[in-house]
Structure 1
Amino acid sequence: MIQVVVADDEALVRGGIRMILEAQGDLVVVAEAADGEEAVRVVVEHQPAVVLMDVRMPVLDGLEATRRIARSSSATRVLMLTTFDRDAHVYDALRAGAGGFLLKSVPPEHLAHAVRVVAAGESLLDPAITRRLVERFVARPSPEVAGREVLAQISEREAEVLRLVARGMSNLEIARDLFLSEGTVKTHVNHLLRKLGLRDRVQAVVLAYESGLVEPGGGTD
Structure 2
Amino acid sequence: MIKLLFVDDQAVTLRFLENCFGDADRYEIVGSLIQAEIADLWCERKKPDAIFLDIQTKEKATNGLEMAKRIKEKFPQIKILLMTGFDEISYIPRAREIGVDAFLLKSYPEERFVQILQEVVYEGRMVFPEENNQIPVEEGQTPLTEREIEVLRLICQDHSNKEIADSLYVTESTVKRHVESLLRKTGKSGRAGLVAYAIAGGWINPNI
Tell whether the structures are fold-level matches, with TM greater than 0.5: yes
Alignment of 1:57-136 (within 5 A): 57=57, 58=59, 59-120=61-122, 121-127=124-130, 131=134, 135-136=144-145
CA distance in 2, matches of 1:108, 1:17: 8
Cα displacement (A) at 1:138: 6.6
TM-score (norm 2): 0.60
Q: Measured at CA, do residues 128 and 6 of structure 1 come closer, stay the same or move farther in structure 2, by a change above 3 Å?
A: farther
TM-score (norm 1): 0.57
Cα displacement (A) at 1:87: 4.5
Letter in 2 for 1:32: S
Letter in 1 for 2:117: V
Partner of 2:49: 49
8 Å Cα contact 2:8/2:14 also seen in 1: yes
Q: Which runs of 5+ in 1 are unaligned?
A: 141-216
Q: Which moved more, 1:99-108 or 1:28-37?
A: 28-37
Q: Measured at CA, do residues 89 and 24 of structure 1 come closer, stay the same or move farther in structure 2, by a change above 3 Å?
A: same
Partner of 1:16: 16
For the aligned residue pairs, the C-alpha RMSD in angstroms reads 2.4
CA distance in 2, matches of 1:110, 1:90: 19
8 Å Cα contact 1:32/1:39 also seen in 2: no
Deviation readout 1:144-164 (Å, 9 max, x if unpaired): xxxxxxxxxxxxxxxxxxxxx
8 Å Cα contact 1:91/1:136 also seen in 2: no
Letter in 2 for 1:125: F
CA distance in 2, matches of 1:44, 1:135: 39
Letter in 2 for 1:19: N
CA distance in 1, matches of 2:55, 2:132: 13
Of structures 1 and 2, the larger Rg is shown by 2
8 Å Cα contact 2:88/2:133 also seen in 1: no
CA distance in 1, matches of 2:72, 2:85: 23
CA distance in 1, matches of 2:130, 2:21: 22
Alignment of 1:141-160 (within 5 A): none
8 Å Cα contact 1:36/1:64 also seen in 2: no
Flag the structure with higher helix content: 1
Deviation readout 1:85-128 (Å, 9 max, x if unpaired): 21432221221121010111111011011112111222112245
Q: Which runs of 5+ in 2 are unaligned?
A: 136-142, 150-184, 186-208
Deviation readout 1:33-56 (Å, 9 max, x if unpaired): 212212111112111111001100
Percentage identity across paired residues of the two chains: 21
